[in-house]
Amino acid sequence: PASRLYQSAQQQVYRLQELNQLKDEFVHMVSHELRTPLTNMKMALTMMEARPEPERQQRYLHLLKLEWQRELSLVNELLELLAMESGKRQLELEPLQLLEWIPRLTDSLQMRFLERQLQFIWRASPDLPLFTTDVRLLERILVELLNNACKYTPPLHQVHLEIYPHGQGIRVQVTNTGVEIPVEQLPKIFEKFHRITALDRYQQGGTGLGLALVKKAVEFLQGQIQATSREGCTCFQVDLPLL
C-alpha cells in the first residue's frame, strides 16, 4: 500500500511539473506574439513623427491598422480559447436554417477572395435539416477555415465550401487547390501558435491560434475535424451532430 501511495504521489508530482512547464511555454509564446505587433506599431509611430509627408503617413497608418487588428484578433482568440478550456463558455443553442444562413455568411467573405484573385465556390445540399447548434461557434469555425484557405491559396486557384447532411448531423468540407501541407506537419496544425511558414508565400502572418480555436470549437460542439493534404489539394472536414 505504501509503495502504491508513493507511486501515485510521484505521478501527481510529474503531472504538476508537466503542467507548469506547459504554462510557462504558453506564457512565453503569448508574450512573444503580443510583443511583435506592439513593436511594429511603435516603429510606425516613430516613422510618422520622423517623416511627416502625407504619402508616408498613409503607409504608416495602414501598418498601424494591420497590427492593431492582429493584436485584437490574438486577444479575442485567446479569450475564446481560454473560456472553452476553462468551462466558462456555455453552449448557446438555437435552431438554424442553414440554407438561409450560409449565403449571408459567404457574401461577407466574397470581397476578400476577389482581392486575392481566388475563385470561391460553395455548395449547400437542399436536403440540409433545421440544425440546432451554437451559431456563433459554427460561424467561427467556417470563417476561420475559409480565411485560412484564402490566406494560403495562390492567386488564380480555387477555394471550395461544401455542406451536406451526414448521419444525424452535417458535414462541412473546406478545400483549396494549389497548396499542400507536408505530411509531417499535419498532426501539428491544430496546436496553439503552430505555423507552417514555408506555405505563407505572402507573409500574411496571423496569430497561430486560428486552427487551434477551430478544433476546440468543433470539440465543444461534440464534433470531429480532420485535415488531409495531397496532390496539391488540402481539405478540412468537419462533422457536427445535431444538438
* CATH number assigned to the domain comprising residue 135: 3.30.565.10
What mean pLDDT comes out for the span 80-103?
Answer: 86
Out of 86, 109, 136, a domain closes at 86
Q: How many domains does the chain have?
A: 2
Q: Distance between CA atoms of 108 and 161, rounded to whole angstroms?
A: 14
Is 122 found in the same domain as 217? yes
Rounded CA-CA distance 136/138 in Å is: 5
Of the residues 64, 86, 108, which one is the last residue of a structural domain? 86
Q: Which of 187, 83, 178, 173 is nearest to 136 (CA)?
A: 83
DSSP H helices, the chain, are 2-50, 54-86, 98-107, 110-115, 135-152, 210-220
pLDDT in tens, 172-221: 999 998 877 888 888 888 887 676 655 555 445 555 678 888 999 999 99
Task: Mark whether 119 and 215 lie in a shared domain.
Answer: yes
Cα 191 from Cα 76, distance rounded (Å): 17
197 in the same domain as 159: yes
Give the domain CATH number at 10: 1.10.287.130
Judge if pTM exceeds 0.75: no
Q: Which domain holds residue 155?
A: 93-241
